[in-house]
Amino acid sequence: MNKEYNTVRTTSSSEASDDQPFLPINPFAEPITTMSSANTNHHGRDDDMIDIDFQNTTNDRSTNSVMNVDLVNTHYDDFQTIDWLKDLMRDRFRHRLLRTKSHQSFFNKLLMYHDAWSGWLCVLLVGLSAGVIAAVIDIGTNWISHLKHGICLNAFWLNREQCCWASRQLQYDNVNSEECPEWFTWPQVFGTYKKGAGEFLLSYIMYIFWSTIFATFAVLLVKVFAPYACGSGIPEIKTILGGFIIRGYLGKWTLLIKSIGMMCATSAGLILGKEGPFVHIACCCGNIFSYLFPKYGRNEAKKREILSAAAAAGVSVAFGAPIGGVLFSLEEVSYYFPYKTLWRSFFCAMVGALVVRSINPYGNGHDIQFSIDYSVPWASFELLPFILLGILGGLWGAFFIKTNIWWCRFRKNSRLGQYTIFEVVCLALITAIIIYPNPYTRMSMSELIKRLVSQCRVEDMIDLCDYPNAQFYNGKSKGSIGLAGPGVHHAIWKLFFALIVQVVLVTFTIGVKVPSGLIIPSMSIGAITGRIIGIITEQLAIQNPTFILFRHDCSKEENCVTPALYAIVGACAFLGGVSKMTVSLVVIMFELTGGLNYIVPLMAAAMTAKWIGDGFVRGGIYDAHIELNGYPFLDNKEEFNFTTIAADVMRPRPEQSSSLAYLTQNGMTFLEVENLLKETTHTLYPVVVTREQPYLVGQIQRRDLQIALKSQKMQRFRLSQSLIQFTSSSETTINSDYEVDNQNEQRLTTNPEVIRIGNLLDQAPIIVTDQTPMETVVDLFRKLGLRQAFVTRNGRLRGIITKKDILRHVQQLTSSNTETTYYDN
Amino acid sequence: MNKEYNTVRTTSSSEASDDQPFLPINPFAEPITTMSSANTNHHGRDDDMIDIDFQNTTNDRSTNSVMNVDLVNTHYDDFQTIDWLKDLMRDRFRHRLLRTKSHQSFFNKLLMYHDAWSGWLCVLLVGLSAGVIAAVIDIGTNWISHLKHGICLNAFWLNREQCCWASRQLQYDNVNSEECPEWFTWPQVFGTYKKGAGEFLLSYIMYIFWSTIFATFAVLLVKVFAPYACGSGIPEIKTILGGFIIRGYLGKWTLLIKSIGMMCATSAGLILGKEGPFVHIACCCGNIFSYLFPKYGRNEAKKREILSAAAAAGVSVAFGAPIGGVLFSLEEVSYYFPYKTLWRSFFCAMVGALVVRSINPYGNGHDIQFSIDYSVPWASFELLPFILLGILGGLWGAFFIKTNIWWCRFRKNSRLGQYTIFEVVCLALITAIIIYPNPYTRMSMSELIKRLVSQCRVEDMIDLCDYPNAQFYNGKSKGSIGLAGPGVHHAIWKLFFALIVQVVLVTFTIGVKVPSGLIIPSMSIGAITGRIIGIITEQLAIQNPTFILFRHDCSKEENCVTPALYAIVGACAFLGGVSKMTVSLVVIMFELTGGLNYIVPLMAAAMTAKWIGDGFVRGGIYDAHIELNGYPFLDNKEEFNFTTIAADVMRPRPEQSSSLAYLTQNGMTFLEVENLLKETTHTLYPVVVTREQPYLVGQIQRRDLQIALKSQKMQRFRLSQSLIQFTSSSETTINSDYEVDNQNEQRLTTNPEVIRIGNLLDQAPIIVTDQTPMETVVDLFRKLGLRQAFVTRNGRLRGIITKKDILRHVQQLTSSNTETTYYDN
């Protein structure tokens, strides 16, 4: 347990100097061999473990003759795909063993109860830790952000609100309302007390200074300590959950650096969000805690159950949306999501949300991040602008995915990729210079969204609420009534410039080497667009109350259009266009805003955005990044729609001269086997009856074979001509009634120079016929989580298909549509 | 299309006289043969279709040589399991064909767009119809229920509220507040105007009379027109969605009769709910509308996508809980739930909920059925009573499942099963007699739940709110303050008797031959228990404010316990104990009550109920009914936890003398094949190389073979010695490099008496080795939705495993735990 855990850490830190973690280690750069090759450069460590494994394996086998699969060997190499089927079977075997033992002693019974509870305990710990970390990050970000503007001289560790709160009982949730004496802005600190251009300039410069410092700190941290901590991490988590090993990606260094880096990057004012990375952080927690429970830590397939729950908790703590988190995990990131996981994920997400809520980082008593305080009904004609927002969202999504991927590819392939620190510093500098003058970009994006989705109130003095003729009922307006004043016109222009700035900057920001999410930027852009369109619609309705569209719903006294609602719908549409989420998006928005009444506008916008977006780009930004990075992710949402058959995909290809590496059941000598192992690097070898009759008998792991040969070498001499035989004595009884090929075997059992290693043979390989449509094969791989399947024709072994073969095949078939054929280089 | 549709209707009505639809047609009553036997008594009809199918099949094949599976044959017989893999492949092929054709003409392009939209259109129609039907049923039930008490003399078609509303502007949502002149109670109708014992007696008698009439009407309708309309239908829908054919179960007669029967049964005052049957009704809509779109109507696997969405809509219209409905469909009833279906289900559920909301059957402006109007925080010590409620809910669930199944089995196996009408009439009579005197049982269960989950208000004069010292703020109490008055004590006793009555009656009611759901009864029992425990806790806290538990949270001025909250938690716990739902339950309760704050109590109660309940009975009431009825449902939630291997399950069994029926690739004569078809009734035959070398080549459908033989018979004479050959000319080229067995073939191709039917051979059978653990085999069957798989050893065919073999095997392995071995009789 500790061993593996250490491996994670050391791998993570040893690769810390690696600049672009995924470029050099291209999982597809292997030479085209029949099977995915194992890394052979870890021999020393592998051999250390091998003896233990071998011991355990044989012990386990003695209790259960049926399961002659390697049951304890959980060690995959880095960048390998996992075999879900075997992993899950291994877990069931472990569970059965535990249950059998539990009758023997009270301690074993306790162990079994611990085992049954460990899943719940683990997700509880994950939920708690994710909640605490999220709250800490929220509080930290708040503090660092305020540091850009000033400092609490008496107690520098307090942010502005806390500082003012500490000094006098200021209204808690209103940051910008009044001055407070304890809080010193930078001009005040430097003695420039008088208002004017000088003060503005000094503030401006300090803002730029701090932004650059924070951004530099973030990128340096990431570059030096944990290169995996950059980006949102969601594409990689999708890949990992799809059954791929990336050592160190979910390690504790990544967790630590990502948490700190995220605070700095967000506080630097870069156009990025911290909600996406929360998913990565929660998954790190999931990975780390899973090592406390060997059931999960030592079994990659089972570990993914915990990671799915952790992903749900990540969204839940980011948005306070537990149900949305579970649906996000189910819809967007998870691959294998059994029924049990659903309930555990929900529990994990709930715990996370409750922890955040009780620590209360938003500091406003509300449980909901962007809570809306109105429930004005929406009129049916408003569906038109909502659908327009959906269309804009879809277009934005397509535009963003295309340009962002183009820029990321340019960065990767040009010399820019070597100057990541320089890039981030420049970006931070430019961002700070651009965004400070505009009050709508100067405030944090969360704050901006919060303001845009709120209705105007009596006390609101900002220009967005400049409705001179407005009458407020009960402190709120029932819709913002009346013609807009000049303030609103100014606000629209400022918002429009904010929109342009954010659109341009976010495209270049997402993908730089700092922790960065794009959920909040997308929502912010959407909310701005929505609010602008909302105000336009509102003013149109006021100025043309008799127009056919408005006549039915809008009376003269009451306004029918609520621009704030448009901001929510816009946020939903733009996020939907980028992420292509559907149900989870609507549920998250619904939980985020608490607006039960607006589910139809939200759905309409999300659906339109997805449809329009899909017309330009298939899949969301996460899928695009998976493709860009060439991760071996076998998408289980896209339908495989080609007419190829297994014979078209299997290796060896008939047109190539290479032949399949295999072992025969009885007829190979020690030397021949040893040579085969030297010549090839496959992780797995098929075993057939004879060379002339290549009927598939089973499969054997390279590792097992190596161990067996090694242990034989130590015991005997003059082995080279000994025959290796893959039939065990127990098997002959099973064979008796049906087999005709065992004359050979009978001859061999009398030969003293026979080495029997039939107990290492896995007699349950997955077989498909060569005429099987690839649709079925892909279904098999997706749904059972296979790593490989053997192809036979009339029982004869003809080839093998691995998961990577399938990915390569899909890539080849679709390569006419995409520009790169990244899988082939 | 119409043909199949008609079949559904006629089957349904022809079986209308069948008293217990599932007893005589036990799908496991077939003799133990290797493969599931086809019904051979439909030959006339089958043959009519055969020619058409054969024509289509060959046409399709010419366009795509790879897919030589029967692509158009969608006709399964009644009570057969479907082959998901083939059905889905057939749909993909259809889709490809459409796409290829779409380049040919504009009309074909339109067809393709129609195809792409048809899924959305279909679920839209399903959502609309489910919503309308649900609203009509709600309104109808309301009217019929009021008929038990009186009549609107001016307009008999109005219920009490509408009647009073029509006559004068009475307060709309308060039924029992005042008299209204137009509404005549039965004593008034019969001239007994003066109050007193006589009036009560007359009301009582009229109540009993009407109840019995309605119940009799309901059971007669069901018995005469649609026997499938009884019960909640959820177990059957689970089975159908799991890949089973029950003709007529989702037909339009069932829909109609179930709708009417449900109104009558509910109005009769029987202790049953109408929320469960809404799922069945929505699925009927789904099935009917799917026939408008051949893509779904003619493909059983695709049809199940629509049915899953319909099930979500069913829950959505029942509770106004769209998200909960989707999760219910996902968690509880659906088997195959691809990503696309999630989004469509959500859409369907939303449409349904919106339709119900706009028709507004609850008549109170609120969107939420049992909306709660308080948001008092709950104290942490209250988790104790909440968990107690969870424990009680779990115990109730176990008790109910055990006794209800025992009673249903008794009814089935004894003579009582023959007197279903008598049983219902008696039950209605007894129920009416018992429930009328107690005001808490006299009101409908929904109304009771609504009252129990509401807090006491100033204007509430009922005994449950008799708090003499209560101070009400703002019209509501902040918690029901102060010591309870004598009214509360009376109310507790009445509620306690109501509890006993409902517990006893519901056990005997669920399972009778009327449409009946158990969601509302369970919630009602839970709400009563919860409210009682809530009042007890409240009074304890008031009387012992210094007790260690209460000291921290309860001050003297404000009460900390809200008994109404306990009613909600109790409803959740008791429903959870019976149905064993988890996430969907919590989400439904959350949507049902609108209570965002109470998700933790709800979760705690639901989890405890499930865990306690699982200790006594595995699975919920629906699973128990599936097992009781012996439906072939391969549960995809339960883990298969046995160490058997494929060789232990496959047919033929080594210990039996029967041998496997198979065909050889080249060596069988026409006569031999014809005899094989006569002697055996399998739906599918394996084809092997030769008798001596039984290497599996492929599989062929019985139906295809029959057609081929028939068409040959018409063309030639003296066929009996002709050789049937399963290799096509195109295949020889593929074979060339690897095959050695084709000397035989070459000899045969020169023989003029060879009949080649290789194009009917499906060369992509699913193969497992005989040493494959059954866990893997079960996984394969569950996840790919297989109907059968062939078992090989070293390439040689050794047997076959069908879905029913697996079910039988699971049953045998678990039979030590269960009392019945129903599968074996």
The per-residue pLDDT for range B155-185, each reduced to its tens digit, is 777 777 777 776 654 444 444 445 577 788 8
What pLDDT, in 10s, does the model give residues B615-642?
998 889 999 999 888 888 887 777 777 7
Average pLDDT estimate for B700-716: 81
Asked if A741 and B692 touch (Cβ cutoff 8 Å), the reply is: no
pLDDT in tens, B79-100: 788 888 888 888 888 888 888 8
% of chain B surpassing 90 pLDDT: 28
Check CB contact of A772 with chain B, cutoff 8 Å.
Answer: yes
Residue A681 burial by Cβ neighbours in a 10 Å radius (0-12, 13-18, 19+): middle
> Between these two residues, B58 and B776, which has the higher pLDDT value?
B776
Give the residue from B326, B359, B392 where a domain finishes.
Answer: B359
Query: B164 in a domain, yes or no?
Result: yes
Q: How far apart are CA B677 and CA B658, in angstroms?
A: 16
CB A340, CB A326: distance < 8 Å: no
Query: Do the chains contact at B698 and A737, CB–CB below 8 Å?
Result: no
A207-232: pLDDT as tens digits: 999 999 999 999 999 999 888 988 88
- Checking if the pLDDT of B539 tops 50, the result is yes
A339/B637 Cβ within 8 A: yes
Distance from C-alpha of B83 to C-alpha of B85, rounded to nearest angstrom? 6
pLDDT digits (tens, 9 = 90+) for A513-525: 899 999 999 999 9
Pairing mode, strands B668-669 and B723-725: antiparallel
Residue whose entry in the numeric block shows the structure tokens 């002697």: B679
Residue of A nearest to B776 (CA): A85
Q: pLDDT: is A823 or A656 the higher one?
A: A656
Asked if B516 and B231 touch (Cβ cutoff 8 Å), the reply is yes
| Percentage of residues in chain A having pLDDT higher than 90 | 28
In a domain, A348, yes or no: no
Question: Residue A706: which domain range?
Answer: 646-730+740-824
Is the CB of B596 inside 8 Å of chain A's CB atoms?
A: yes
Task: Enumerate residues 6+ apart whose C-beta is below 8 A from B704.
Answer: B54, B57, B70, B760
Domain membership flag for residue B330: yes
Number of domains in chain A: 2
Structure tokens of A141?
């970000």
H helix runs in A226-271, sequence order? 234-241, 252-267
How distant is the Cα of B205 from the closest Cα of chain A, in angstroms? 45
For residues B163 and B186, give the distance between their C-alpha atoms in angstroms, rounded to a whole number. 15
Q: Is A666 on the interface with B (CB under 8 A)?
A: no
Contact B779 A784 (CB under 8 A): yes
Interval A183-204 mean pLDDT: 78
Spatial neighbors of B146 by CB under 8 A, at least 6 apart, are B159, B160
A447-491 pLDDT, tens per residue? 899 889 888 776 666 778 777 766 555 545 544 466 777 888 888
Instruction: Give the mean pLDDT of chain A.
Output: 78
User: Nearest by CB to A331, which of B342, B367, B792?
Assistant: B342
Rg (CA), chain A: 31
What's the whole-number mean pLDDT along residues B303-327?
A: 91
Chain B stretch 779-818, residues whose beta carbon is closer than 8 A to a beta carbon of chain A: 779-780, 783-784, 792-796, 798
Together in a domain, A542 and A586 = yes
**CATH (domain of B817):** 3.10.580.10
Alpha-carbon gap, residue A412 to A512, rounded angstroms: 11
Residue A542 and residue A572 share a domain? yes
Helix (H, G, I), strand (E, B) or coil at B691: coil
- Does any domain span residue A806? yes
Q: How many residues does chain A have?
A: 825
If you search the block for the tokens 């996508």, which residue do you land on? B305
Neighboring chain B residues of A582 at a CB cutoff of 8 Å: 342-343, 346
Alpha-carbon distance A771 to nearest alpha carbon in chain B (angstroms): 6
Report which secondary-structure segment, H or E, holds A780.
helix A774-784
State the DSSP string of B566-630: HHHHHHHHHHHHHH---HHHHHHHHHHH--GGGHHHHHHHHHHHHHHHHHH-SS-HHHHHHHHHT
Cα of A649 to nearest chain B Cα, Å:
14
B134 backbone φψ class: left, alpha, beta (φ>0; ψ -120 to 50): alpha
The band of B372, judged by pLDDT with boundaries at 50, 70 and 90, is confident
pLDDT top residue among B269 and B369: B269
Task: Check whether residue A686 and residue A599 sit in a common domain.
Answer: no
CATH number, position A549: 1.10.3080.10
For a pLDDT cut of 70, what percent of chain A falls above it?
A: 79
Instruction: Say if A322 is an interface residue toward chain B (CB within 8 Å).
Output: yes
Query: What is the C-alpha to C-alpha distance for residues B682 and B680, in angstroms, rounded to an integer?
Result: 6
DSSP assignment of A442-511 equals HS-HHHHHHHHTSPPBTT--SGGG--TT--EETTEESS--S---HHHHHHHHHHHHHHHHHHHHHHHHTT
A739 touches chain B (CB under 8 A): yes
> Using CA atoms, how far apart are residues B13 and B256, in angstroms rounded to an integer?
12
Contact B677, B706 (CB under 8 A): yes
Which of B:90-119 have CB within 8 Å of A? 92, 95-96
Are A794 and B741 an interchain contact pair (Cβ–Cβ within 8 Å)? Answer: yes
Instruction: Using pLDDT thresholds of 50, 70 and 90, give the confidence band for residue A791.
Output: very high
Q: Is B609 an interface residue toward A (CB < 8 Å)?
A: no
Q: Are residues B214 and B262 in the same domain?
A: yes
pLDDT bucket at A261, cuts 50 / 70 / 90 = very high
Q: Is residue A427 part of a domain?
A: yes
Given a cut of 60, is residue B34 above it in pLDDT?
no
Per-residue pLDDT, averaged over B548-573, amounts to 80
Residue A641 with chain B: CB contacts under 8 Å: 92, 95-96
Distance from CA of B225 to the nearest CA of A (A): 38
Give me A821's structure tokens.
């054929």
Confirm whether A746 is domain-assigned. yes
CA A367 to centroid of chain Cα atoms: 25
Give phi and psi for B793, each to the nearest 5.
-135, 125
The residue among B657, B677, B658 whose CA lies nearest residue B669 is B677
Q: Is A602 on the interface with B (CB under 8 A)?
A: no
Res A64 pLDDT > 70: no
pLDDT at B195: 66
When pLDDT is cut at 50, 70 and 90, the band that residue A542 belongs to is: confident
Q: Which positions 353-412 of B are in contact with A (Cβ < 8 Å)? A: 354, 367
Reply yes or no on whether the pLDDT at B24 is more than 50: no
Q: How confident is the model at residue A17 (pLDDT cuts 50, 70, 90)?
A: very low
CA distance to partner chain B, nearest, from residue A60 (Å): 14
The predicted model gives B206-218 an average pLDDT of 93
User: How many CB atoms sit inside 10 A of residue A384's CB?
Assistant: 12
Taking the Cβ of residue A691 and every Cβ of chain B, the question of whether any pair is shorter than 8 Å is answered with no
What's the pLDDT band for B804 if we cut at 50, 70, 90?
A: confident
Express each pLDDT in B493-510 by its tens digit.
999 999 999 999 999 999
pLDDT in tens, B284-300: 999 999 999 988 998 89
Answer with the one of A627, A659, A678 that is the final residue of a domain: A627
Asked whether residue B313 falls in the same domain as residue B237, the answer is yes
Confidence of residue A310 (pLDDT cuts 50, 70, 90): very high
Q: Which of A661-670, B29-38, B579-588 has the lowest mean pLDDT?
A: B29-38
Cα gap A725→A746, rounded to integer Å: 11
Strands B723-725 and A754-756: unpaired
pLDDT reading at A15 higher than 50? no
What's the angle, vertex CA A769, arms to CA A764 and CA A770, rounded to 5? Answer: 135
Please give the Cα distance from A151 to A146 (Å, whole number).
7
pLDDT at residue A381 in the model: 86
Q: Which of A793, A797, A798 is best to mutate for the B interface (most B CBs within 10 A)?
A: A793
State residue B121's pLDDT score: 95
Lowest mean pLDDT among A680-689, B237-246, B368-377: B368-377
3-state helix, strand, coil in chain A (%, to 5): 60, 5, 35
Residues B89 and B97 sit within 8 Å (Cβ to Cβ): no
A343 vs B89, B582, B796: nearest CB: B582
Chain B contact set for A783 (CB, 8 A): 783-784
Kindly determine whether residue A600 and residue B350, on different chains, have CB atoms separated by under 8 Å.
yes
Residues of B in contact with A593 (CB under 8 A): none
Closest listed residue to residue B331, CA positions, set B78, B30, B550, B637: B637
Structure tokens belonging to residue B109: 């392009």
Task: For residues B210-227, give the mean pLDDT.
Answer: 92
Q: pLDDT-based confidence at B540, cuts 50/70/90? A: confident
Q: How confident is the model at residue A804 (pLDDT cuts 50, 70, 90)?
A: confident
B645 contact residues in A (CB cutoff 8 A) = 66, 764
Mean pLDDT over A622-637 rounds to: 85
How confident is residue A250, by pLDDT bands cut at 50, 70 and 90?
Answer: very high
Which helix (H) or strand (E) segment holds residue A799: the answer is strand A796-802
Tell me, yes or no, whether A697 and A587 share the same domain. no
CB contact under 8 A, A776 and B764: yes
Gap from A90 CA to chain B (nearest CA, Å): 11
What residues contact residue A718 under an 8 Å CB cut-off, 6+ apart? none
Is B304 exposed, middle or buried, given 0-12, 13-18 or 19+ CB atoms closer than 10 A? buried
Q: How confident is the model at residue B21 (pLDDT cuts 50, 70, 90)?
A: very low
Q: How far does the CA of residue A637 sit from the closest CA of chain B (Å)?
A: 6
Strands A684-688 and A663-664: parallel
* pLDDT at residue number B473: 53
Chain B hits for A779, CB-CB cut-off 8 Å, are 85, 88, 784
User: Which tokens hold the place of A341?
Assistant: 């996981």
The answer to whether residue A203 sits within a structural domain is: no
Q: What's the mean pLDDT in A545-563?
A: 73
The answer to whether B587 contacts chain A (CB < 8 Å) is yes
- β B696-701/B723-725 pair status: unpaired
Inside any domain, residue B169: yes
- Residue A825 confidence (pLDDT): 26
Task: Identify which of B594, B763, B794 has the shortest CB distance to residue A771.
Answer: B763
Provide, as residue numbers in chain A, all residues whose Cβ is less than 8 Å from the Cβ of B342: 330-331, 582-583
Beta-carbon separation of B764 and A775 below 8 A: no
Using CA coordinates, name the residue in chain B closest to A641: B92
Q: What is the pLDDT of residue A146?
A: 87
Q: How far apart are CA B567 and CA A110, in angstroms?
A: 36
**Residue A612 pLDDT greater than 70, yes or no:** yes
Q: Find the CB nearest B784 among A600, A689, A783.
A: A783
CA terminus-to-terminus distance, chain A: 37
Does B415 share its domain with B490? yes
Best CA proximity match to B285, nearest among B265, B303, B298, B302: B303
Query: Could you give the 3-state DSSP secondary structure of residue B473?
Result: strand
**Among A62-66, A140-144, A615-619, whose mean pLDDT is lowest?**
A62-66
pLDDT (average), residues A71-89: 74
B771 contacts in chain A (CB < 8 Å):
66, 698, 763-764
B502 and B593: one domain? yes
E strand spans, B186-279: none
Q: Across the interface, do A607 and B347 touch by the CB < 8 Å criterion?
A: yes
A212 to chain B nearest CA, in Å? 42
Q: For the CA atoms of B238, B243, B245, B251, what is the dihedral angle to 10 degrees?
A: 50
Q: Best mutation site among A302, A308, A343, A603 for testing chain B: the one with the most B CBs within 10 Å?
A: A343
Helix (H/G/I), strand (E/B), else coil: B705: helix
**Could you tell me the pLDDT band of residue A286, with boundaries at 50, 70 and 90?**
very high
Same-domain status, A673 and A768? yes
DSSP summary character for residue B651: B
Cβ–Cβ contact A736 with B under 8 A: no
Do A600 and A659 fall within a single domain? no
Instruction: Give the pLDDT confidence score for residue A319 in this predicted structure.
Output: 86
Give the strands of the sheet with B723-725, arranged side by side. B668-669, B723-725, B754-756
Phi, psi of A797 (to 5 degrees): -70, 130
CA distance A523 to A573: 8
Q: Shortest CB distance from B773 goes to which of A89, A343, A793? A: A89
- Report the pLDDT value the prediction gives residue B479, as an integer from 0 to 100: 47
For residues A170-178, give the mean pLDDT: 47
pLDDT digits (tens, 9 = 90+) for B725-749: 887 554 443 443 344 444 444 444 4
* Predicted pLDDT at B488: 87
- Mean pLDDT score, B124-153: 90
Residues A665, A809 share a domain: yes
Do A540 and A663 reside in the same domain of the chain?
no
Taking CA–CA distances from A85, the nearest residue in chain B reads B776
Greater model confidence, A41 or B261:
B261
3-state class (DSSP) for residue A269: coil
CA dihedral A709, A710, A712, A717 (to 10 degrees): 110
pLDDT mean over B450-478: 69
- A596 and B769 in contact by Cβ < 8 A? no
The stretch A320-330 carries a mean pLDDT of: 89
Mean pLDDT computed over B209-229: 92
| Contact criterion met (CB < 8 Å) for A89 and B783 | no
Is A636–B586 a contact, with Cβ atoms under 8 angstroms apart? no
pLDDT digits (tens, 9 = 90+) for B226-261: 889 888 899 999 999 988 888 889 999 999 999 999
Inter-chain touch B738–A773, beta carbons under 8 Å: no
Chains A and B: how many Cβ contacts under 8 Å? 177
Which of chain B's residues have a Cβ under 8 Å away from the Cβ of A776? Answer: 85, 89, 764, 784
pLDDT for residue B321 is more than 80: yes
> Which of the four pLDDT bands, split at 50, 70 and 90, describes residue B662?
confident
- Rounded to 5°, angle at Cα B763 from B757 and B768: 140
